[in-house]
Amino acid sequence: MKVNLMRKLDFWVGVPLCFVCSFFNFFGHFLNFRKKKVLPARIAFLKLSELGAIILAYPLIKRVKGQYPAAELFFVTFKKNKNVFRVLDGLIREENIILISDENIFFFALDTFRAMLELRKNKVDVVFDLEFFSRFSAILSYLSSGAIRVGFWRYTFEGLYRGNLLTHKVQYNPQNHISVSYLLFEQVIKQERKDSPELSENISKEDVILPKYISSPQAKKYLIEKFGLNNQKRIFLFNPGEGVLPLREWPLDNFITVGRKILEDSNNCVVLIGTEGAGKKADVFLKGLNDPGCINLVGKTSLEELMGLFCMSFALISNDCGLVHLAMLTSIKKFVLFGPETPQVFGPLGDNNHVFYSHWPCSPCLSAFNHRESFCRDNVCLKVISPEEVLQAII
C-alpha cells in the first residue's frame, strides 16, 4: 500500500476505532485483560514501518532483555523488515517475529487479525508501541490484551488523537534522539501506571548501545568474486534514493556531480546500492557518470551481502534512510544528507558520521506531530547543500 493510503486509513478508520476501544476500556475490560505481573513473562514490541527505527530501538530491546532475562520477546512488523533482525544479535527469535503484509488492504487486515490472535494466544504481558502516534498500533496494543501498554502520548499537545488505550504514557520529546526516547519506555513500566510526563531517571549516552557487525575475510572474498569488485580500489557506495519520497532526497544531479569528481581519482570506484524501487534512478545515475567501472547492485544484494559491502567499502554517500542505520552497525564512513527531518532525532549514532543539514528556517517539516507528512513541494533545505560542500567533507 502507498504511504498516503496508509495515513488516510489510520485517520478515517483509526480515529473512530480508537474512540470505540477507549469507551470499552473506560467502562470495562471486555477483552479479559490480564493482571500486571511483578516480572513480565512475555513482552512484545510493535514497529511496523521504518527499518532504521527498528535498529534504533535496539538499545531498548537490549535493556529489556537485560532487565527481564527470563522473558520471551516478540516483535510485530511489516514483512519487508524481517531480515533486519539477523543483525540485532538474535535478541528476537525468528519464530517470535510476527509479520504483517502491506501489499494491499485485504492482506493487511488479515495479517493484523492474525497478529492480534498471536499476541493474545501467547498471553503477552507488556506491549511497547514504538510507532509515532499511530492509531493502528495503539488499537493493536489494546487488542493484544497486555496488562501494560507503553507508547508516546500527546499530553497537552493538540491533535494527534489516538484514544486512551495506553497504561503507561511517555511524552514525545522532539529534542531527544529517538533511541533515547525509546529507552524511556523500559523506565516507566516499573511504575503502576504512567499518566504524567515527568520521569524519574536520566538517560546517558552510555545507555545507547548498538551491536557491531564484523565481516569475515571469506565474506569479503565472496563479494569480490560475485560482484566483480576491484579489491585494489577504494569503494564509494552511493544510495541516491528510490524516488518514492522525493521530498527527502537530494537532487540526483548532485549525486552525479559528486560521483564524477570521486572517479577523477583512478584509485576510486563507485557502487550503487538500494532496494529494487531505486532501479530507475540508478539507471539515470549510471548514464550521468558514463563510466564502465561503476557497478550497479541496486536490488541485487541480500542483507548479509549489503553488510559485507559496508565493511569493505571506504564510504557511503546517502540520503537519510534505513540503509544509513544499517551502515551505522559497521565502521564505514557515512556522509548523510538531512533536510525535511532532523538528524537530532533520527541521525546515525556512533563514529565516522558526517551529517549535512542546512538548518533552513522551515526545516524540519516532517515530524511525529504531522505523521511525517508535509505540503512542501520544493525541498530547498536539501538543494542548498552543494556538491562542493559534500566533496570537501569527503576529501
49 pLDDT band (50/70/90 cuts)? confident
What pLDDT, on a 0 to 100 scale, did the predictor assign at position 29? 54
190 pLDDT band (50/70/90 cuts)? confident
Most confident of 154-158, 197-201, 359-363: 359-363
For residue 383, give the C-alpha cell.
538543494
Across 141-170, average pLDDT: 91
What pLDDT, on a 0 to 100 scale, did the predictor assign at position 2? 76
Q: Is the pLDDT at 337 greater than 90, yes or no?
A: yes
Mean pLDDT rounded to a whole number for the chain: 91
> Global pTM?
0.91
Q: Minimum mean pLDDT among 5-19, 146-160, 175-189, 228-242: which range?
A: 5-19
Q: Is the pLDDT at 367 greater than 70, yes or no?
A: yes
Which helix (H) or strand (E) segment holds residue 77: the answer is: strand 72-78
Q: Is the pLDDT at 31 greater than 70, yes or no?
A: no
**Residue showing cell 485517520:** 11
229's torsion region: left (phi>0), alpha (psi -120 to 50) or beta? beta
| β-bridge mates for residue 45, sequence order | 75, 128
For residue 85, give the C-alpha cell.
533482525
Across 161-190, average pLDDT: 93
For residue 299, give the C-alpha cell.
536490488
32 pLDDT band (50/70/90 cuts)? low
User: How far is C-alpha 105 from the geometric centre of its chain's CA atoms?
Assistant: 22
372 pLDDT band (50/70/90 cuts)? confident
Q: Is the pLDDT at 167 greater than 70, yes or no?
A: yes
58 pLDDT band (50/70/90 cuts)? very high
Helix (H, G, I), strand (E, B) or coil at 45: strand
Across 215-233, average pLDDT: 91
What pLDDT, on a 0 to 100 scale, did the predictor assign at position 112? 96
Q: String of b and e for 168-207 (b: at least 16 CB within 10 Å)?
A: bbbbbeeeebbbbbbbbbbbbbeeeebeeeeeeeebeeeb
The answer to whether residues 347 and 353 touch, using CB atoms and an 8 Å cutoff, is yes
What pLDDT, on a 0 to 100 scale, did the predictor assign at position 34? 67
359 pLDDT band (50/70/90 cuts)? very high
- How far apart, in whole angstroms, are the C-alpha atoms of residue 306 and residue 304? 5
* Edge-to-edge strand list for the sheet holding 333-338: 295-296, 268-272, 234-239, 315-319, 333-338, 353-357
22 pLDDT band (50/70/90 cuts)? confident
Q: Is the pLDDT at 157 greater than 90, yes or no?
A: no
The answer to whether residues 254 and 288 touch, using CB atoms and an 8 Å cutoff, is no
33 pLDDT band (50/70/90 cuts)? low
Phi, psi of 356 (to 5 degrees): -105, 120
